[in-house]
Structure 1
Amino acid sequence: MGDQGATGRLSPRRWRILSYLAQHGSATTLDVALVCGVSRLTAHRDLVWLHEAGLVRRDRSAEDRTHTWWYEVTAEGTDVLRRALTASGRPVPLRLGQRSYGRADALLFLPLVEVSRRNPGRCELFQWLAMMDTSAWLRQHDLAQLRADGYGVWLQDGRCLRFLVHVDRGPSGGVVAEHERATSGLGGLLAGYRRADRLVPVGAVLLIAQDAEREERLRADLLREPLRNAAATTTQQLLYRHWPDDQVWQVPGESGRRRLIEVGS
């Protein structure tokens, strides 16, 4: 398609899919089904329609045995969104259509959306900001030195937790000595908070370590030099095996793990 008539036939759900891809980078059919609260088949049909309209592109890795399609917004799709936002008087998000897929989206955002859908009325991911929007939010609070991967507001059982999340990307730099692998790159996760002269306006800072050894080093660092804000750690492996609202979060100085809503209480 790729014509103006096609964009005029965009349903509200297809506008939402286009907006999600433009602000979160690439996504699978299952991701889109979760975000929109529809079946996988419905999400597939919408994505195929958007692809044929030239508003999204798709690709899959030859090394992926599941042959999963990953969808991204095209330059035309981005332009359609930008014009629609401008015409309605709404702000155009930073780097619309140029964002990369975020680890925090995969580890927290999408799983918490799924938990919300499985427990309607009991819990809800009330708000989520991807990395770029989180940076803008931090600048508004004069905290430009922080580099978080996401900001969220989680509601559960009548309680509310506002949090920032940081994902450990593993050892930084080129060649890293074996004895340094457990600590390399971890200091950057906490440096911004230690330069801040006041509390960050969230209930908790969540730190997702690459593995158990790096989580232990993070916890030891937080015990030696606590942050002004409450902090909690977990690992990527735990989040792969459990829902992120479960008892997977460890507060420095405690032996057990807390549920997400209990962090910062």
Structure 2
Amino acid sequence: MTPVDISIVHELPGRLRLRLFRPPTDAPAFTEAVRQHEGIESVVFQPRTRSLLIYYQPTEVSDVEIVVRVGVRLSLDYQQSFVRISRPDSSHPPGVMAYSAAGAILIATLTNALRTSPFHKFLVQGAGGLTALAVVDHAWQEWQENQEYHPEVFSLVYLLGSLMSGHPLRASIITWLVTFGRHLVESPGNACLLRADPGSQGKDKNYLDVMIRRDPTKPANPLSVLISALSASIGMQTRSQENDLLESISHMASRHHHLLESLESQSGRIYLRLDH
């Protein structure tokens, strides 16, 4: 059975927008079921865009819990279908300066290996300097767009140390890949599958058994593995590691002891089973 898709469009404190690739079977009942949780102020479904706009109190409910609750309800709407939840990378893509730095690194690598130019030392230093400028420019662009710096930009410290020591080429390559490489791959950690199965425990203890696991159709990309290894080699954590959707859900589930309030019944419960 084809999964029902939910995409997290944007996440801001107190405001969450989701895109549902298949609409709920009963939109008013769907939005009301999601809204009933304490801390959720309003839930609005736009049929034309199939988007769900949710306002909430971050001190009372987390955005991750809301996403799970929406996924549970959508799974039930479509006869316990799998729901694929994805969190696209919203970071700023590489610009002209980043690709210029990549070109400079390539030229410097070739001339350094072949010694085809008497200026190869200057080219190596120039590639390092241009890479440093590209990282600073990228950090500024991301700050303007998201009001945050991604941790990869701090690889600049590693690069500057190598520039001062006079051996920047290897550091330039690592810094470029760590900072910009994440834009070239889709992290498998940014997608997971959720399925809700109704069950019963006794006469009045209805519950939902919710299984959540990583999306098996998104295997790890070799480039993503390389970037993570390079990041670890210089003591960095990549954005994809921070942004891992299943890990975010796992932390939320642990805080709630893997037990959430039911969507529609105060006495009911939602049990979360996470398969890593």
What TM-score comes out, normalization by structure 2 length?
0.20
Query: Which structure carries more relative contact order (alpha carbon 8 Å, separation 6+)?
Result: 2
Greater strand share, structure number: 2
Greater helix share, structure number: 2
Structure index of larger Rg? 2
